Structure 1
């Protein structure tokens, strides 16, 4: 009787372990398309991602680079002060999208051009995504809402 209880307990533990491993694998498989890593233009220039990798790019829309093409196609450059990445987007841009403003785009880098499938723009006068602020601070070009560099520089 004692041996049967021990055997049953081991079987329950093994089944629970297998169920946990399978559920963890299924969660990871389901999330593989939903995870988009953020990269700044400088990081993309240093180590370009594979053309099949979907990621997010963020920075400032470069002054004078916004060109509206045929139909809904838009071309512009994104910069963090250290590097510039050309971007193409087919669709309607957010209302607050403008040159010298922060943006984040989701898409792929194909032949050196970021092909965006989604563009997000800042939502008020002072907001900029944390990742973009960090990338701009790293390059030493971040300006706060009043246009001043941090620490009075």
Structure 2
């Protein structure tokens, strides 16, 4: 008997799992939505998720991807925006050249988390990717979890 039907069923069920936290704008509390709109006036293509008592908005500003994390009281917890290679600080580029000379990276993000500001870099691997959290000088911040 062919395993193909089981494989198809598995793939389809996994695709539904990835969307289970998506919510509509009407499901976002007004205090959360109002804070978001006041902080990100030019946000376009906003999509919301709810998980672990926090609301995550994925959106674009001037064709640049952003994400914002807010609590149920409307407090902005953290914000990230995608940056291109020219915006990555020299300290990080030097760190990558020295410690990951063959590492090819395509995802770089700048994150503001309260008073903390840092960067995330994803290095492409053959089987797995390496995710790094760094300050602007290129120092790894192992105490901060990578924000997917």
TM-score, normalisation: structure 1: 0.26
Kindly indicate which of the two structures has a greater share of residues assigned to helix. 1
Greater relative contact order: 1 or 2 (C-alpha under 8 angstroms, separation 6 or more)? 1
